[in-house]
Amino acid sequence: MIEKVLVANRGEIAIRVMETCREMDIPTVAVYSDADKNALHARYADESVHIGESASSKSYLVMEKIIDAAKKTGANAIHPGYGFLSENATFAELCKDNDITFIGPPSNAINLMGDKTEARTLMESHNIPLPPGSTKALEDIEEAKKIAEEIGFPVLVKAAAGGGGKGMRIIYKPDEFESGIRGAKSEAKNAFGDDRVYVEKYLEEPHHIEIQIIADQHGNVIHLYDRECSIQRRHQKVVEEAPSPFVNDELREKIASTAIQSAKACGYYSAGTVEFLVDKNRNHYFLEMNTRLQVEHPVTELVTGVDLVKLQIMVANGDELPFKQDDIQLRGHAIESRISAEDPADQFLPSTGKITHFRQPQGAGVRLDTGVQEGSEVSINYDPMIAKLVTYGEDRPKAIARMKRALQTFELSGIETTIPFCDYVMKHESFVSGVYDTHFVKDHFDPKKLGWKSNTEKESTAPVIAALIREIAESKKNTSAVGTAKVESGGGRFTGTWWQKRRN
């Protein structure tokens, strides 16, 4: 029986797990690095343990330190969140060897689905549709080139041990092939210590659709419907929604059935996500299975009314699922915007520094999962995502309207973020109509139309902005200021979130 949970993670996902544990009256333990000594998650838990230097390779990724922290505090279960050790089969086994419950799937399932070529081979043996391409890792460039010529360009080169868009290249022409393969292998080696790659057909107008599944240790597997995850930059998701506006009832039934079949094929239990590519003709192909909780799980929770973390804990305890497939119904629509410390006006480059002002959006249908606050430092040591803004409505237009309102009233200063990009998406005709695919950024995004200025530009306009703020404060006839504006002393730098004039 789970009595105390150590959360082997940081930031918003650590707090998210701890919130459910509190509701279940389960004490929690946080772990933190040097960089996170003042972090929210370290203060939110019932107990906290320092585990090392700022670099994740010397703290959050050191399995022995996590296990020692659990033993030291008497935690008999570990929730890995996502990222870090969440899909590490060795860590799952290490937990088992130390009589600690790993709140996740069995290690054999993590192993099977973590190796993309092994996963493709398994899916092929169960007649699950795959994109045309190689099933096994490629031995040499000539072999890869031959397969690419057979399936036709463009092709996608992908890391066998990959994920998160790393070790991936789209190759449009034969003369780009060798350099593309070398680039993918080099990036895969650096990211995963494994340079194996495989090739698959790059689909036209592809949609990235995923199915959330939950399975217990008694053979019960159900799905919690679909998510559309096609708004991406560098093959990484930025905006997700549930359900997908592209998936019709017929495809939804087919793809959900395939997802359940995939989970059963690898003996899966706990929460997991089966990801698919869907072409313009609504043919679906298995992409991969993520053997953990997904970043975008809140949209599924909102449209199904379930707590996925609670279900993970119940399953880890050995309980049966508390409902059947027919009990799960879709209600309304939910959208998630990932708020990352990146500058969308400058190729989404990372932005670091101190958050000088933070005020989260309020109102009906708004949920914010975050691990930062005013004064928090955003460093280069960890993933740049600092918050997830989620809105819910009885239908898609209502969810979009609430997201626009929430983004426009989200006050976050001191660093550049993806807030203006997410707002751009919400207002774009392609997204509003629901007619978009994974090429959205390439086909539709224009940084010049963001309506925001970079921090460098803001510095030069600080005096003008300050004068304008005073003018508006003195005059209440036709306009009012919405958002925040602040002129910092010492450098005259203007930092702000949304600042606009709105007619009364």
3-state SS string for 26-75: CCEEEEEEHHHCCCHHHHHCCEEEEEECCCHHHCCCCHHHHHHHHHHHCC
Examine the pLDDT at 293 and tell me if it is beyond 50. Answer: yes
Q: How far apart are CA 232 and CA 206, in angstroms?
A: 12
d(CA 119, CA 321): 26
How many angstroms separate the Cα of 430 from the Cα of each of 397, 440, 476? 13, 8, 37
> In a 3-state reduction of DSSP, which class is residue 359?
strand
Mean pLDDT score of the chain: 89
Query: Does position 498 have pLDDT exceeding 50, yes or no?
Result: no
CATH code for the domain defined by 207-449: 3.30.470.20
Provide mean pLDDT across the span 221-249: 97
* DSSP character at residue 210: E
Catalytic annotation on 405? Answer: no
**Is residue 208 helix, strand or coil?**
strand
CA distance 130 to 139: 20
Q: What is the pLDDT of residue 483?
A: 34
Structure confidence at residue 480 (pLDDT): 35
Q: Is the pLDDT of residue 394 over 60?
A: yes
Is the model more confident about 135 or about 445?
445
The pLDDT, as a whole number, for residue 142 is 84
Higher pLDDT, 8 or 185: 8
pLDDT of 204 reads 80
Kindly indicate the confidence band of residue 30, based on its pLDDT and cuts at 50, 70 and 90: very high
- d(CA 39, CA 41) in angstroms, rounded, equals 6
In the predicted model, is pLDDT for residue 478 greater than 90? Answer: no
pLDDT at 452: 55
Residue with more model confidence, 223 or 191: 223
Is the pLDDT at 185 greater than 50, yes or no? yes
d(CA 473, CA 7): 47
Q: Is the pLDDT of residue 252 over 50?
A: yes
User: Domain coordinates of the chain in residue numbers?
Assistant: 5-103, 132-201, 207-449, 455-503
Mean predicted confidence (pLDDT) in 170-196: 90
**The model's pTM:** 0.85
The reported pLDDT for the residue numbered 340 is 98
Enter the DSSP assignment of 133: B
Q: In the predicted model, is pLDDT for residue 415 greater than 70?
A: yes
Model confidence at 109: pLDDT above 80: yes
Q: Is the pLDDT at 5 greater than 70, yes or no? A: yes
Side chain identity at 258, as an amino acid letter? T
Q: What is the pLDDT of residues 35-73, one digit of tens each?
A: 999 999 999 999 999 999 999 999 999 999 999 999 999
- Output the six-digit token pair for 168: 């991936």
The whole-number pLDDT of residue 465 equals: 43
Nearest to 388 by CA among 95, 2, 115, 16: 16
Where do the DSSP E strands lie in 267-399? 270-278, 284-290, 333-340, 342-343, 349-350, 353-354, 357-359, 366-370, 377-378, 385-393
What pLDDT digit, counting tens, does each position of 139-153 carry? Answer: 778 888 889 999 999
- pLDDT tens string 428-475: 999 999 999 999 999 999 999 997 554 434 443 444 444 444 444 444
Range in 19-23, 79-83, 164-168, 349-353 with the lowest mean pLDDT: 164-168
CATH number for the domain formed by residue range(s) 5-103: 3.40.50.20
Residues 355, 413: contact at Cβ < 8 Å?
yes
pLDDT of residue 361 exceeding 80: yes
Active-site residue, selected from the candidate residues 233, 292, 402, 405: 292
Assigned CATH topology for domain 132-201 = Dna Ligase; domain 1 (3.30.1490)
| Over residues 271-279, mean pLDDT | 97
Highest mean pLDDT among 116-125, 402-411, 469-478: 402-411
